[in-house]
Structure 1
Amino acid sequence: MMKINLSELLKRAQWGKISDAELSEVVRMISLERGADLYTLIQILGRAGSPKYRKIVEPFLNNVGDAQLSALAVKVLCWSWGLSQEYKGDLVRFLNGVDWDVDGYVKLQTIGTVGEYLRENSDVELLELIYGIFLNEEERPLIRSAAYFALCRSEKLEWKDIPSASRLVNFSTEIDMQVIERVERKLGRRLH
C-alpha cells in the first residue's frame, strides 16, 4: 500500500501530473471505500482519470448516505468526463428530486451540469425540466437561481453576462426575458 498526500495529489491531478501507480492507489482506496477523504479521492479520479473508471464512480449516484458524494459523482461522470447522455436517466431523476437529497446538493449540481450540457447539445426533455424548476415558485430560491443560470448557459451566455452566481437572483429585476423567450420558443411554448 502506497502512502499518498491527498491534498498535494489533488493539486497535481488538475494538471494530469500523477503517476499510474498513484492513480491506481486512488482507485483501490475508492473501491474499498477507505481513506480519510472519499470526496477528495473521487475529485482526484475525476481530474486525472478517464471514463474507463466510470464503474468506480457510478455507485455514488445512488443513496450512499452522503448527498455531496452523489453530487460529485454527477460532476465527474457528466461534466468532467462528458457522459451526460449516458447518464440522462440519472440526470432526469435528480432534476425531479430524490428523497435522500434533503439539502439539494445533487439537484443543484445536476442543474449546473445540465446547463453546461445544453450549451452544446439539444435535449428538450432536460431543458423542459430546468425551465420547470425555474418557474416553480415553491422551489427554494437557491435552486431556482441555479435553474435560471442553467437556462442562461444553455442559451450560450457567458458567466460575465449573468448575475453573479455567488448570490440569489432577484426574480423581479434580474431575469433576462430574451433568454426566457428563446427557451420558451425551443419548448414550443406560447410567449408571455
Structure 2
Amino acid sequence: MPKKIATEEDWIQLGFAQFAEGGEGALVIERLARSLGTSKTSFYWYFKDRASFLRRIIDEWRQRSTASLITDSSLDGLSAQEAILIVLQGMFAPNQSRDFLYHLRRLGHSTPNYAEQLAQIETARLSHMSALLAAMGHPPGIAGHKAELLYSYYLGWHERQHGREQHAAESEAAIALIWPYLERKGSEC
C-alpha cells in the first residue's frame, strides 16, 4: 500500500497532541510517521531535526493559547469584566491540550531555551490580564498583583488536574472561587 504524503501541518498537529499527552518523550519520529501512515523521511522535508520540530510545536501552542487570545477581536466591544470572564472560561475549560503547559514546564527545568520561551509566554499572559484588570478599574499595581495571583492559581489548578478527566463543573467552580478576588473593591481606588 502506498504511503500517505503528510503535510507539515499534519506533523505539527500530531506532534502537538502527542506532546500534550506525553511530553518530549512522546515525540518519537518513527512512531509519529506510522501514525500518519507515512515514512519518517517526510518528516525531514519540513524539519531539520527533532529540536526544530519541537520549536514549531511550541510556536503553535503559543499561537493557540496566548497570541490568538490576546488579539481575539471577538472581545472587542465587551466590558473588561465580560472579557475577563471569557478569558477565565478559556483558561479553565476542559480541553485536550491542557497538559501541554505541564510538559513544557518540566522541559524548561532541564533546558534553558524552553524556560526562556515559557517566561516570554507567561509575561505576555500576565501583561494581558493585568491590562484587563486595570480596564476593570483596578489601579495598575493592584491589577499586576491580581494577575500574578490568578496565574499562580491557574498553574496550581492545572497541576492538580494533570492526568485526570476534567469536567465542566470543576472549571466553573474554579472560576467561581477566584472571581470575588478579581472584582474591584472600593478600597482599592
Q: TM > 0.5 between the two?
A: no
TM-score, normalising length from structure 2? 0.31
Q: Which structure's CA Rg is the greater one? A: 2
TM value normalised by structure 1 = 0.31
Ranked by relative contact order (alpha carbons within 8 Å, sequence separation 6 or more), the top structure is 2
